[in-house]
Amino acid sequence: MLITLLVVLIPRKLHAGDELRVVAPSCSAGPMLEQHRSIREARFVGLGLRLSYGEHVAECDDFGSSSVESRVADLHAAFADPAVAGMITAIGGYNANQLLPYLDWDLIGANPKVFCGNSDITALQNAMLTRADLVTYTGPHWSAFGMRDYFERTLDGFVACLFRKDPIALEPSPVWTDDAWYLDQDDRTPEPNDGWWVLHGGAARGRTVGGNLCTLNLLQGTAFMPSLADSILLLEDDLESQPVHFDRNLTSLLQQREFKGVRGVLIGRFQQRSNMTRDLLEQIVGTKRELAGLPVIANIDFGHTSPMHTLPIGGTVQLDTSVPAIRVMEH
């Protein structure tokens, strides 16, 4: 099968001495600015990065966020500032898609920079790919760097994707966590990992699209929805997405006209309170005729549990379930 990958803008990798700007395009960073500050700052110092903060990151309205104007201004300022090498989002939320009609896509495309975050940030990442051809990164928020324990693999993945150009061979973590570490750093419960779940066999190579499934679906029918042609879908959801919700949201994506261009699907690990099991997920995937013949691997280290791979949105991934192997080729 002939695969034609679109030309994309891959931002310059981060280097020691770079300035990394914290932005809050979804929920406010205000309530977290002092929380776990010493741990977080030591992590970034260890990477050789200098943190700066958007002018409006601490603003907080009745919805736990800030105005559209404030959030857009901080993004534009970071992209326009030649001293800023990249951006990391404070945390996720629910309303990043409010910004899309007001962003200067020419400015963003003319100043390709690292942009890392996850969850609600999916709306911005896929829109940046669609409107500015910019490769962005689904990975840890700034807030996650305050995690004292069990953060090493997340940090290693962040460095591998954002500081280096070499292909990345993903591997399942031996343990994982899904606990409220931000409330009690001593009350942590690591769980043994039973590895990747190969739900459909096969091999594929394609451009990565997606992230948080329900957020990606917010872009359907808009000018910000990315092309699914020759794509590898990255899909995950949080604890609010129960099996019936994931099934419904997946079905909506499968019914997109371009879905026939999808080459494979990678599904992130589900949170415990989502009540998703391997058996239920196998049933969901097994009922989807659109997925017949496509390789599907689940229970991968990305999404709302820890550790978390940092993966490109708009990069190139190849996978082979016979090994199984997943390699990030272009990021």
241 is annotated as an active-site residue: no
Instruction: Please answer whether residues 142 and 40 qualify as being in contact, where contact means their C-beta atoms are separated by less than 8 angstroms.
Output: yes
Bridge partners for 207 per DSSP: 231, 316
311-313, strands of its sheet edge to edge = 50-53, 19-23, 84-89, 114-117, 136-138, 311-313
298 forms beta bridges with 197
**Does the annotation mark 236 as catalytic?**
yes
Between the alpha carbon of residue 188 and those of residues 61, 148, 211, 236, 271, the distances in Å are 32, 10, 26, 23, 15
> Which candidate in 56, 65, 66, 236 is catalytic?
236
Return the number of other C-beta atoms located less than 10 Å from residue 101's C-beta.
12
Give the Cβ contact number of residue 192 at 10 Å.
8
Contact (CB, 8 A) for 304 and 196: no
Residue 129 near residue 6, CB atoms below 8 Å: no
Q: Is the Cβ–Cβ distance between 118 and 211 less than 8 Å?
A: yes
Q: Are 145 and 33 in contact (CB under 8 A)?
A: no
Phi and psi for 136 in degrees, rounded to 5?
-120, -175
Q: Is 119 a catalytic residue?
A: yes
**Quick one: which H or E segment has residue 169?**
strand 168-169
Q: Which of 70, 119, 143, 231 is catalytic?
A: 119
* Cβ atoms of residues 276 and 210 within 8 Å: no
Q: Which one from 56, 141, 304, 309 is the annotated catalytic residue?
A: 304
Q: Give catalytic residues, as residue numbers.
A: 119, 236, 304
